[in-house]
Amino acid sequence: MGYGLRSDDSRERMEETLDVMVRAWTEAPLVHEGKFYQLRVPTLRPQPRQRPHPPIWRSVSSAGSVRECGRRGAPIMMARIPLARVPERLALYESGLAESGLWPERQRELRAQAALWRFVHVAESQAQAEDELTEALLETRRHMVHARQTNNPADFHVEANRVNPWNDPHVSHEDGVRYSLQTSTLYGTPQRVADQVAELRDAGVHHVLCQISYGYLPHRTIVESMRRFGEVVAPRFR
C-alpha cells in the first residue's frame, strides 16, 4: 500500500522479512543474501530485553492467512472484519492450530490471545462521536486512496476477497466511511461502546486493538476519548 510494491509476492516477502527480523535479534553478525534483502549487520543495538526475541503477532485478513498462522503457531491480530465474520475466522484459526503439532495448552493460549483491530471513538453523545469520527475517517480515506494511486505500480492489484468498500477506490469516500462505521468501528457514548465490546467478547474475541488516533482528530479530542474509554468502558471487562 503506497510503497511501490506489488502484491503478488507479498507472502513470500513477508516470510523473508520475518526471517531477517528474528535473525537480527538473535544473531551477530547477521549476513543475509535473500531474494528481497541483502544485509550485513555487525550487531543490532539496542538488544531486545525479551529473550530470545519479542513476540511477533501477524496481522491477517484473508481466511487462508488466518488458518496458515494457526498451522505455524503464530499469534494473530485480525483486520477490521465485520462482526458476523469473526466466529468463522476464529474457527479457521482453531483448525490451523489443531494441525500445528503444538501442545493443547499452547494452542489454548494462542486462541485466547487472538486479537481484533477496531477504530474506537468515545464521546459525550452518539451524535458527537459520529460527527467527529466521520470527518476524521473521510480525511484518512482520502489520504489512503491518494497515496496508493500515486505510489503503487500501474499493475498493482489486490485479491478480490480482500477488497471491501473501505479500501475500494471505486467506492465513494462517503460510502467507504459509512461501511467502516457500520462494520469495523466502536463509537458512541461510553455505554454504547462498552456494549459493542461485549458483543465482540460474546463472539469469542478476548483482545481488541483499539485505534483511537487517526491523524485527523485534534489531540485534545483523542485524549478525551481515551479517558472515557479508560474510566468507563475498560472497567466493565476487568
**Which one-letter amino acid corresponds to residue 191?**
Q
The CA distance from 232 to 210, in Å, is 15
29 and 104 inside one domain = yes
Clarify whether residues 123 and 230 are in a common domain: yes
Instruction: Assess whether 81 and 173 both reside in one domain.
Output: no
Sequential pLDDT tens for the chain (238 residues): 446 666 677 778 888 998 999 999 999 999 999 999 999 999 988 888 999 999 888 988 888 889 999 999 999 999 888 999 999 999 999 999 999 999 999 999 999 999 999 999 999 999 999 999 999 999 999 998 998 888 887 777 777 777 888 888 899 999 999 999 999 999 999 999 999 999 999 999 999 999 998 778 999 999 999 999 999 999 999 8
Q: Do residue 124 and residue 224 come from a single domain?
A: yes
- From 116, 147, 177, the end of a domain falls on 116
Same domain, 141 and 110: no
In a domain, 4, yes or no: no
Q: What is the domain range of residue 122?
A: 118-237
**Is residue 84 situated within a structural domain?**
yes
Domain assignment present for residue 5? The answer is no
Residues 167, 210 within the same domain? yes
User: What global pTM score does this model have?
Assistant: 0.84
- CB of 24 closer than 8 Å to CB of 51: no
* Residue 191 neighbours by CB distance under 10 Å: 13
116 - beta bridge partners?
Answer: 78, 208
